[in-house]
Amino acid sequence: MENLIKSIDRAISNNDVNAIKSIFEGPSPSWMTVGQGEQRSVAAHLIVVAVKHPDFLKATMADLMDCYTQALSHLPSTVENAADNTLRSHIFQFLVDESHDYSGAARILAGSRMDGNYRMSAAEKSEIYVKIAECFLAEEEISESDAAVSKAGIFIEQI
């Protein structure tokens, strides 16, 4: 696992997209050779380090989208500084601005963790659900949009 973490650090400091891809993609990605707990740690490390380097994150979003979403699906219960939520926000913005994939953007943002160690205010939670609702509405996914509006309403009452 230490070798994978060092490889991630080196790849991000060198802006080496292919090195990240070799760890997280392909027919036999190297991060899948370690146990589940270590996979979670490696995924969290990628997210934390990528978020700490916003220029790298922005420059590699299109190339590493699959790696980022793969990492987001294998996380421990908490991630340092809620970096996973920060990454979700970046992916959301990329999907809306660049890909015009509103449904995909809404689904990424819907995975945001808001409770437990991820303390968010009622206003922050309602803002997330409003964004989700707007994206689903743009894709004419009315029932999903309505569900997000209902969730936003719960938090708006708390404000």
Mean pLDDT across 112-136: 92
pLDDT at 1 over 90: no
Residue 104, CB-side half-sphere exposure with 13 Å CA sphere: 14
Q: How far apart are CA 11 and CA 8, in angstroms?
A: 5
**Can you state the angle between helices 36-52 and 54-72, rounded to 10 degrees?**
160
Model pLDDT, residue 119: 83
pTM, two decimals, is 0.92
The length of the chain in residues reads 159
Mean pLDDT across 56-75: 94
Q: How far apart are CA 133 and CA 104, in angstroms?
A: 12
Model pLDDT, residue 18: 93
Q: What is the pLDDT of residues 31-41, one digit of tens each?
A: 888 899 999 99
Average pLDDT, the chain: 93
Model pLDDT, residue 32: 85
Per DSSP, helices labelled H in the chain are: 2-13, 17-24, 36-52, 54-72, 83-94, 102-110, 122-138, 142-156
Q: How far apart are CA 148 and CA 109, in angstroms?
A: 11
Q: 58: pLDDT confidence band, cut at 50, 70 and 90?
A: very high
Model pLDDT, residue 100: 96
**Can you state the angle between helices 2-13 and 17-24, rounded to 10 degrees?**
150
